[in-house]
Amino acid sequence: MILGWDHRLGAAPPLRPTTTRVVVGRRGGLYIWFCFSYKMGAVGFTDAEGNFLISFDRNFVRFRFKISLHIDDIDTLHTIQSMLGIGIVTGENKQYCSFVVQDYDQIKYILCPIFLHFPLQTNKRLDFDYFYEAILIKEEKGNNLTDIKDKLLVIKNSMNRNREIRDSTGHFESFAINFCWLVGFIEGDGTLGIKNSEGARAARPLASRAARGRSPYLQIAQKIQVKLH
């Protein structure tokens, strides 16, 4: 993200194809803007809602990246598809829709480089590491599934819900969580709301009756994975 200000928006640096300039405010005659990286935003969204999947189809191994949302958010998936220029958006049923990338070349040459350059910041990074390891094995051994199936099965069974619980502290090479990543992550896992607070109601002056006891909040929740042995 690049943050800056100028009298004219046109005076800002030229944008990359994957970046947009967003005006966030104005002070006097100055516009305040930032350049938002779509790729970093997509990484944050993946940390919240993305899945890396490996499956077997007869003598072939299939790689798939998937983001599933409520059908009301299908426009968000179309935005991601347009932003990255890959994948398809499908309506799975009346309640859910998905953005899916399953073309091997798109996964290898477009999707994986994004996550290598802008690392995931949650334990989803571990799933990507396994996913990418499987791709490297396939590249080395070719399309003969007989020679690599056992290795790929071990990797597949170590991902997602089967992944061992581990402390990721210090494990990741962080690019430093920034505004672009945070916007994507909040879009996927954030909740905005207003709660009533008795303490706040008592502390506020009578003049602010409409606002008394009401506190806006932002909540980001992640699922706790429990693996029973």
pLDDT in tens, 84-118: 899 999 987 889 999 999 999 999 999 999 899 88
The mean pLDDT of 60-70, rounded to a whole number, is: 91
pLDDT of amino acid 113: 92
pLDDT of residue 15 exceeding 50: no
Alpha carbon distance 163, 37 (integer Å): 30
Three-state secondary-structure class, residue 226? coil
What are the residue ranges spanned by the domains of the chain? 2-37, 40-162
Select the CATH number that applies to the domain covering 40-162 from these four: 3.10.28.10, 3.30.930.10, 3.40.50.10860, 3.40.50.720: 3.10.28.10
Q: Which tens digits make up the pLDDT trace of 137-189?
A: 999 887 777 778 889 999 999 898 777 655 555 555 555 666 676 766 677 65
Q: Which of 180, 156, 170 is nearest to 3 (CA)?
A: 180
Q: Which tens digits make up the pLDDT trace of 160-169?
A: 877 765 555 5
- 2-6, 66-70, 71-75: range with lowest mean pLDDT: 2-6
Beta strands in the chain (DSSP E): 2-6, 19-27, 30-37, 50-57, 60-70, 88-91, 96-101, 190-196, 214-220
Alpha carbon distance 218, 216 (integer Å): 7
pLDDT of amino acid 147: 79
